[in-house]
């Protein structure tokens, strides 16, 4: 159960940001166009990539030696330090949303959603690399629970974002809200960084 909760909050910390994909989801919600399709593609893609990362690291972990373990941990720490730094220096500005609905087919929306998802470099660093790497030393059942928790966070986040878009679009333009969200992310990710640093020192 603890790995399910850990996966949930780790996954939530990674996706709680207004990037191109999340803005697209909000806009589709405001336009009331293919919301279920968009949210389903985004959340199912996350699930696929999360477990791809987890099982890739699980499979190759048997070939890791001490040097590889240390290198991956150092890369994790660098990723987290950069991630935390980006949140600290982030200055929230006004975010505008296009709510003007235009005629567009289901297939066009599908390909547009796939583009915002799979052509986004962050989705691979967050899901495949970070979540897979972070869980590499868990037992197999712990990895599964961790992945399920992160996937649940993704499903809840995207469907709330899409169907409550009018509500969230107001939040997205509120500096105080973003300061609180970033404070949560910084605190949680700092705790993960400390954990990984301790694990790395243990290897030494």
Q: What are the boundaries of each domain within the chain?
A: 2-203
pTM as predicted: 0.82
pLDDT at 159: 94
Instruction: Annotate the chain with DSSP letters as a single string.
Output: -HHHHHHHHHHHHHH-S--HHHHHHHHHHHHTSSHHHHHHHHHHHHHHHHHHHHHHHHHHGGG--HHHHHHHHHHHHHHHHHHHHHHHS----------------HHHHHHHHHHHHHT-HHHIIIIIIIIHHHTTTS-HHHHHHHHHHHHHHHHHHHHHHHHTHHHHHHHTT-HHHHHHHHHHHHHHHHHHHHHHHHHHHHH-
Identify the pLDDT of residue 157.
Answer: 92
pLDDT digits (tens, 9 = 90+) for 9-66: 999 988 886 677 888 898 888 888 899 999 999 999 999 999 999 999 999 888 877 7
Residue whose C-alpha is closest to residue 117's, from 128, 103, 104, 106 = 128
Q: How far is CA 125 from CA 42, 101, 180, in A?
A: 16, 32, 24
More confident residue, 131 or 85: 131
For the segment 163-173, what is each residue's pLDDT rounded down to a tens digit? 988 777 666 66
Average pLDDT over residues 137-147: 94
């Amino acid at each position: 159960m603890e790995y399910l909760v850990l996966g949930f909050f780790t996954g939530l910390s990674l996706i709680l940001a207004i990037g191109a994909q999340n803005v697209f989801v909000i806009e589709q919600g405001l336009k009331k166009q293919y919301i279920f399709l968009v949210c389903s593609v985004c959340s199912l893609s996350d699930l696929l990539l999360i477990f791809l990362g987890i099982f890739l690291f699980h499979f190759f972990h048997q070939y890791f030696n001490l040097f590889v373990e240390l290198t991956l941990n150092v890369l994790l720490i660098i990723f987290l330090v950069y991630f935390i730094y980006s949140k600290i220096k982030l200055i929230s500005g006004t975010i505008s949303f296009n709510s003007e609905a235009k005629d567009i087919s289901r297939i066009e929306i599908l390909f547009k959603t796939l583009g915002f998802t799979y052509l986004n470099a962050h989705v691979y660093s967050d899901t495949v690399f970070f979540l897979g790497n972070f869980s590499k030393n868990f037992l197999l059942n712990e990895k599964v629970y961790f992945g399920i928790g992160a996937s649940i966070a993704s499903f809840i986040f995207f469907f709330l974002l899409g169907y409550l878009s009018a509500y969230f679009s107001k939040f997205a333009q509120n500096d105080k809200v973003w300061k609180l969200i970033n404070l949560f992310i910084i605190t949680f990710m700092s705790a993960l960084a400390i954990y990984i640093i301790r694990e790395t020192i243990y290897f030494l």
